[in-house]
Structure formats: C-alpha cells, structure tokens
C-alpha cells in the first residue's frame, strides 16, 4: 500500500515579504504550516537580516523552483560609512574604522566599474562550500582561507537616496550568485573608505515583486478567515518568460501521461517565433491549467515535467 502523504495537495506560489531576523527555512516552514501543504520550498535564500521578496512554492509549484533560482533579482541596500565589519553587515565585529565620508558624486563616479560581467569574490561569511565545509562556519571558527573570484552579472547599480553624510542607499539589478555585501566591500575600498550594509531588502525575484507581496501577518489574518487561497499565485507564475501553447483536452491527457503529441505546422512556426536563445521549452496549457513543461523537437512536443493540477 502506498504511503499517504501528510497535509493537503495545495499548489501555487506565495510571494512572501519576509520579515527581518527571520530565516528563509523558517519562513517556508511557517507558510507550509499555515496552508497545511504536503510540499514546500523556496526560490533563493534571503539572509535573516534582510527583508523582502521570498517566493515560496507549495505542492506542484516546487517543480518550477529551478526556473526561478536563475532569475534576475533587485536589491535595495543602505551603506553606513565609517565602520567595516567581518561580515560586511551591521552584525559583524568591527575590523576597521575611518572618518572618510564619500559624497554622492564620489560614489556615482565609481559605480560604472561594478556594472556588467564582473569578477566578484564572495564574502567569507557566505554559504559557499570550501572542502565540504560552509565558508561561514570556517570564518566563525577563525580559519584562514580565500574564496575564488567568480563571474556575476550586474545589470545596473544606482543611487536612490543619500539621507545624511553617514549613509547612502543604492539599488542593484543583478543575476544569480551576486553578493550585495561584496559590492559594499569593494565599493568602500574603491573610495578609500570603511562601510558595511546597515539595511538590505530584496524587491524583486524574476516576476515576483513588491506589488504582489504579502506579509506573514496578512497570511495569518487570511487563515483566520479561511481565505488563504486568495494569496496563492498560479504555478505558472515562475514560468512567465516561457512561451505558452494552448493544447486540446485530448492532447493535455496524452501529455499528462508522459506521451508526446504531434504539432500542427502553424503551431511549430508560431513557437519558433517565440523561442529565443536556443531554448525549446514550452508551457503546455489547457485553458488556464498548466499541463506540462515540454520540449519541441522535430514537430513534436515531448513532456519533460508534468503537473497534476485540476
């Protein structure tokens, strides 16, 4: 007899506005508990000291997490001049101090070197593994090590506010694997100053932005009203940049069974116009229902990942 899964077969995305001092795993656990969901996961860890967008996948949406992990992100962060810390945020021990307070113009003059394909050395206090150990564990243990630089993409880095001489707020659009704290470290060095990140907020992960975000308090209130489904976004939300193809009920049935379907010449031509970058992946849709992620090959659509949605 098959083992019965605990929880309810809830599927969809919750665009959580994660609170300060709350871990990503802790947030996933809380949301899963609120929905009594069988499965849950998140797309991109957000530090406990950061706030903002943490997309949480429930049920069948967990099958689309990998598409969101690689998505571009936007961060808003504040640098506080005068003190560098071991972690490059406000919780770390002070490692250097300076009276240098760069002006807005001085900061602006340095930003261009951080935009584009750049080599970035991650902070030692990061989750990167070194000989099987997390870098932050080695750093906390006082181990001496160096992390290798790696290529990251920063699409834009701009100043959004200078509230006083001690602080400056910037916003960054970037690809995966980019560390805000490393940008803060390197920018301070370029300016001959000391600084750390005093506030950090993620405002976008792919298609998930602040305009559709919901707080834990709001979710709890919806739970009291038995209205939690109102906060669920469709499973297909994470796939907004993948072309959609409408299929018949009969073809949807075949795809759901893991079988290929033959495309009409006009469908092939339409998809070729939409597919970019060598991608062959298509969202097969039966009305508003996501049936499968499939690859178009030789005039056929071959299911790669099937969704059990009603």
Do 168 and 286 belong to one domain?
A: no
Dist. CA 169–CA 233, nearest whole Å: 31
pTM: 0.90
Q: What residues does 130 pair with on adjacent strands? A: 133
Specify if 83 maps to a domain.
Answer: yes
| Domain span holding position 189 | 73-205
Instruction: Report if residue 124 sits inside a domain.
Output: yes
Q: What is the pLDDT of residue 142?
A: 80
For helices 104-111 and 180-190, angle between their N-to-C axes, nearest 10 degrees: 110
Q: For residue 2, is it within any domain? A: no
Using pLDDT thresholds of 50, 70 and 90, give the confidence band for residue 45: confident
Residue 40 contacts residue 62 (beta carbons within 8 Å): yes
Say what the pLDDT of residue 4 is: 61
Tens of pLDDT, residue by residue over 240-249, are 889 998 899 9
Give me the number of domains the chain comprises.
3
Decide if pLDDT at 238 tops 60. yes
Q: Tell me the catalytic residues.
A: 47
Structure tokens at 187: 């920018």
Tens-place pLDDT, residues 96-150: 999 999 999 999 999 999 999 999 988 887 778 887 888 888 888 888 888 888 9
From the CB of residue 244, how many other CB atoms can be counted at a distance below 10 Å?
Answer: 15
Assigned domain for 39 exists: yes
Chain segment 201-226, per-residue pLDDT in tens: 999 999 999 999 999 999 999 999 99
Whether 163 and 87 share a structural domain: yes
- Closest listed residue to residue 234, CA positions, set 289, 188, 272: 289
Closest by Cα among 141, 142, 193, 150 to 168: 193
């Amino acid at each position: 007899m098959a083992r019965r899964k605990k929880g309810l077969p809830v599927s969809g995305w919750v665009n959580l506005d994660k609170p300060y001092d709350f871990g990503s795993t802790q947030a996933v656990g809380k949301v899963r508990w609120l929905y009594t969901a069988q499965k849950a996961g998140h797309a991109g860890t957000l530090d406990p000291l950061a706030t903002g967008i943490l997309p949480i996948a429930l049920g069948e949406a967990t099958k689309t997490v990998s598409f969101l992990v690689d998505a571009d992100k936007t961060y808003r962060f504040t640098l506080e001049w005068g003190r560098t810390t071991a972690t490059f945020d406000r919780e770390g021990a002070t490692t250097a101090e300076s009276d240098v307070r760069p002006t807005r113009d001085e900061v602006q003059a340095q930003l261009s070197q951080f935009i584009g394909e750049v080599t970035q050395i991650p902070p030692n206090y990061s989750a990167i593994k070194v000989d099987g150990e997390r870098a932050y564990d080695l750093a906390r243990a006082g181990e001496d090590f160096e992390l290798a630089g790696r290529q990251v993409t920063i699409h834009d880095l701009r100043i959004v506010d200078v509230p006083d001489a001690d602080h400056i707020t910037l916003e960054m659009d970037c690809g995966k694997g980019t560390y805000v704290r490393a940008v803060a470290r390197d920018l301070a060095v370029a300016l001959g100053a000391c600084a750390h990140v005093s506030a950090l907020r993620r405002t976008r992960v792919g298609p998930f932005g602040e305009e559709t975000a919901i707080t834990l308090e709001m979710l709890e209130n919806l739970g009291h009203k038995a209205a939690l489904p109102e906060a669920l976004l469709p499973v297909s939300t994470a796939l907004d940049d993948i072309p959609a193809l409408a299929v018949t009920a009969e073809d949807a049935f075949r795809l759901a069974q893991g079988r290929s379907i033959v495309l009409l010449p006009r469908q092939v031509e339409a998809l070729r116009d939409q597919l970019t970058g060598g991608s062959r992946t298509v969202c097969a849709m039966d009305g508003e229902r996501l049936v499968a992620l499939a690859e178009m090959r030789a005039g056929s659509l071959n299911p790669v990942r099937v969704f059990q949605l009603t």
